[in-house]
Amino acid sequence: MSDSHKYLRKYGEPECDFWIELKIPIHEYCLVIPAYQECYSSFKKVWRNINANVLIIVIANAPKPDNITNNLIKALKNIASKSASHRNLSFLSTSNQPDILLIERCPIPENQGVGLARKIGADVALSMIESGLIRTPWIFNTDADVTLPSDYFESLTEAKEYGSEHSSEHSSALIYPFNHHAPREYQDACALYEASLHYYVLGLRFALSPYAYPTIGSTIVINAKSYAAVRGFPTRSAGEDFYLLNKLAKVGGIQQLSRPEISIQGRLSERVPFGTGTGIKRIMDMIDPTNDMLFYNPQAFLTLKRFLEKLNTCYETKDLESHFSASTQSGSIIVQWCQSQKLFALIKSKQSQRQSVFYKFIQDWMDGFRTLKFIHFNRDQYFASQPWQTLFDGTVLPLLGIDGKIDIKIERKRKPTSSDEFCSFLKDMLIDGAS
């Protein structure tokens, strides 16, 4: 019995058994899309550029009955030229659009929301991959605010060497590059929000963190075996993408693709406590977003870099406090954080293990969540965040080790003077750093 089959038997959602009655034909790919309060007119834009043999798995969900979600369900059923239903699943086939497997989960527990919706869809996708009904063993995920490019599924060509189970390197997930677009009235807020995402990844990359990747659910493709290994999506109302990737990074690499770029609609929302819509609205509500929207001080990333260097050389160290504080300006900060996490005692309890096992434990322990906590500790206790314009005063961005590239960029393209230019600048830095 495969690990995927074991996962589905023990943790799979009940819908994994329902689709068998629908006589669904074989498809090359599957694409999972949760849908809550989405209109069909905008929803169908997600796949309008796609010309591939793909099964779209739509999870219509709502914590309580609402007309918008009900109207989407009706619209999807009305476009079908052929349909079959069993329990809360409907297979919908049309002549000019991809086939759709519609899963209705209304109501859905409010505290599980989009996380449970994604898990239902991905569990069904995994069961279809296991049965051979989906040929490609990757679970594609996106959202209703996305327009996918025509070459969306060709991304696997770039990553195909990572997809082989015989490969020495194995990616547990792929992440597409992305671009937010928004109406003119909140275009600046959207640019600032996206800039904050790129800036954080750039800082983690400078610190050589293995968790330096963006965490946007609509850009993620998951290796089927890895999905089963980490027991699927966390059933959370928000942040499910962050926590899933945090688990996937511990069982394989997170590969950031260079193309194609996914277009994400920057729209206001308060449906979840954080995310694109909530983040843009928070910036819109600021009196002066240009100065009130703050970015982590790069000193926090520099401290993280020094901490990770010490953490990755402490296997045989007896005097851990001296090791972590030695010859670094940030030593006292690092020691204080280690003590707050009881890290010294934890390290000592693991030093009897083989070196490879020890460092795998260290990398898993200092994961994406603890990395974010470390940055917040630095922000709250030592290095206040600052407006983006101050990052170009000649003292801040060079701390990230990219001063030479900054000089080239500014010489070739004038210093950013708007939030949109700043966002583009950071994207260019990430691309240059990856090349």
What SS3 class is residue 313?
Answer: coil
What is the predicted pLDDT for the residue at 40?
93
State residue 342 phi and psi, 5-degree precision: 55, 35
Task: Tell me: do 231 and 333 sit in the same domain.
Answer: no
Same domain assignment for residues 134 and 224 = yes
> Which of 337, 354, 381 is the endpoint of a domain?
381
Residue 370 lies in a domain: yes
- Report the alpha-carbon distance of residue 27 to residue 52 in Å, rounded: 9
Domain-ending residue, one of 339, 360, 381:
381
d(CA 97, CA 92): 10
* 328 and 250 together in one domain: no
Whether residues 232 and 373 fall in one domain: no
Range of the domain at 251: 3-178+215-255
| pTM greater than 0.75 (yes/no) | yes
> What total number of domains does the chain contain?
2
**264 lies in a domain?**
no
Which of 356, 381, 406 is the C-terminal boundary of a domain? Answer: 381
Q: Please check whether residue 388 lies inside any domain of the structure.
A: no
Please indicate, yes or no, if residue 434 is contained in any of the structural domains.
no
371 and 303 in a common domain: yes
| Residue from 211, 213, 207 nearest 363 by CA | 211
Residue 284 lies in a domain: no
Residue 391: which of 292, 296, 289 has the closest Cα?
296
Amino acid at 288: D
Calculate helix-pair angle for 419-434, 403-412, nearest 10 degrees: 130
What pLDDT is recorded for position 164?
45
- Residue 238 domain-assigned (yes or no): yes
- Are 264 and 179 in contact by the 8 Å Cβ rule? The answer is yes
Residues 70 and 219 in one domain: yes
Domain annotation covers residue 277: no
SS3 content of the chain, % helix, strand, coil (to 5): 50, 15, 35
Question: Within this chain, do residues 164 and 19 fall inside the same structural domain, yes or no?
Answer: yes
Whether residues 26 and 93 fall in one domain: yes
- pLDDT tens, per residue, the chain with 435 residues: 899 999 999 999 999 999 999 999 999 999 999 999 999 988 999 999 999 999 999 999 999 989 999 999 999 999 999 999 999 999 999 888 999 999 999 999 999 999 999 999 999 999 999 999 999 999 999 999 999 999 999 878 766 544 444 343 579 999 999 999 888 888 899 999 999 999 999 999 989 999 999 999 999 999 999 999 999 999 998 899 999 999 999 999 999 998 999 999 877 776 666 677 788 889 989 999 989 999 999 889 999 999 999 999 999 999 999 999 986 678 999 999 999 999 999 999 999 999 999 999 999 999 999 999 999 999 999 999 999 988 765 555 555 555 444 444 444 445 677 888 888 888 887 776 555
Yes or no: say if 221 and 174 are a contact pair by the CB < 8 Å rule.
yes
Look up the CATH number of the domain holding residue 59. Answer: 3.90.550
Task: Label residue 65 exposed, middle or buried (CB < 10 Å: 0-12, 13-18, 19+).
Answer: exposed
> Do 167 and 313 fall within a single domain?
no
88 and 140 co-located in one domain? yes
**Within this chain, do residues 241 and 314 fall inside the same structural domain, yes or no?**
no
Q: Is residue 12 part of a domain?
A: yes
Half-sphere exposure of 332 (CA within 13 A, CB side): 3
Task: Note the pLDDT of residue 325.
Answer: 92
Residue 14's contacts (CB-CB under 8 Å, 6 or more residues apart) are: none
Q: Are residues 103 and 246 in the same domain?
A: yes
pLDDT of residue 155: 78
- Tell me the C-alpha to C-alpha distance, in Å, between residue 304 and each of 104, 134, 299, 301, 384: 44, 42, 8, 5, 15
Q: Is 51 buried (19+), middle (13-18) or exposed (0-12) by CB count in 10 A?
A: exposed
